[in-house]
Structure 1
């Protein structure tokens, strides 16, 4: 979260800084990004940068949050539109997310983000994991709890094997991992073949979600039917 001084800047100056961040973070992953390049392009002294942000990671995730805007709210809305069906809502939400990430004008930034993702960055960018970024850590925790309770209220739990918000968080964690891994796989395919069909990634994701929902093992009856069909 930027420091208070950043929000007191003129709109023009804030836009210059964010434009410089976009340029640098689209060229380089966070670990290789240069504050020197950012302040040069933004036309601000290096000392001023630290009056606005704690470090480059602070700017990086603020920039990302401006791109994703309200992913958590979008996820809730999509689940609500599917009458509380977590899997249908999540599948619809994630298909849109994959398409946007791979084809959006910010695809270069997203490629650097996902191809260099670790557990820390996963928790930073996952809409169901990261709380709203407030300056106070206690407020962060309280907001995160409220978000989890809101998610709990939106989801129809009658067909889910979950008992509390902790288990719901575990399930959402698994689902979001399936989305992020699919995006990473898609970028690898695109690096090898620029004509790679993104729809294949969506199909792969649908299969992953199906496995999480219903399992990958066939029942005895299904196994018998498969064997009969293969004869």
Structure 2
């Protein structure tokens, strides 16, 4: 992850660096990226890059993680809007993302994330006991959604977190299939609804 100096950057410069990193890693596989590609666009010394990141892999993981968290937050926005029908909220998200212009930043972010798998996006942070911790509050909100959807088999926060990652994997699986097959919105939603029906009713 980024070094402390990265987080001390001014908002404007940090946003610029974020965009440059995204553009470079979107256009090329990490194996083809050089530090020079980044520093030349930022008009900064090569050594400055290493003030912010350990290496290119560190910078790449930062971008993937950042895009994953943004995707996660956007999906949760739609879920919160349909508090008592989690699967309807996800369907609304899928309809929204598939309706976007391919040149929109949200669509580009989604494509980048789904074509740049990283184990870091699956890494789980231990649940903190401090109720003031932002992650604790997020988990607490998620567990309320679980309760309101009557998912009675999920009883602990640990189970809730596993279910959350499972749901996110369902969404990304649908989106990957959508991209790989150049589907339209209706095909994406049909695929999603079929998978949800398996979850709700089983296949036996």
TM-score tier by shorter-chain length is 0.7 to 0.9
Say whether 1:151 aligns with 2:138. Answer: no
Where does structure 2 lack aligned partners over 5 or more consecutive residues? none
> CA contact under 8 A between 1:91 and 1:209: conserved in structure 2?
no
> CA contact under 8 A between 2:64 and 2:113: conserved in structure 1?
no
> CA contact under 8 A between 2:102 and 2:108: conserved in structure 1?
no
Higher-Rg structure is 1
> CA contact under 8 A between 1:21 and 1:59: conserved in structure 2?
yes
> CA contact under 8 A between 1:87 and 1:213: conserved in structure 2?
no
Counterpart position of 1:211: 198
1:1-231 matches, within 5 Å, as 1-63=1-63, 71-100=71-100, 103-106=102-105, 107-108=107-108, 110-118=110-118, 120-123=119-122, 143-155=134-146, 156-190=148-182, 196-217=183-204
Closer, same or farther: CA 158–6 of 1 in aligned 2, 3 Å: closer
What TM-score, normalized to structure 1?
A: 0.66
Closer, same or farther: CA 31–160 of 1 in aligned 2, 3 Å: farther
Alignment root-mean-square deviation, CA: 3.5
Where does structure 1 lack aligned partners over 5 or more consecutive residues? 132-136, 191-195, 218-231
The CA deviation at 1:115 is 2.7
The CA deviation at 1:151 is 0.8
Q: How many residues align?
A: 199
What TM-score, normalized to structure 2?
A: 0.73
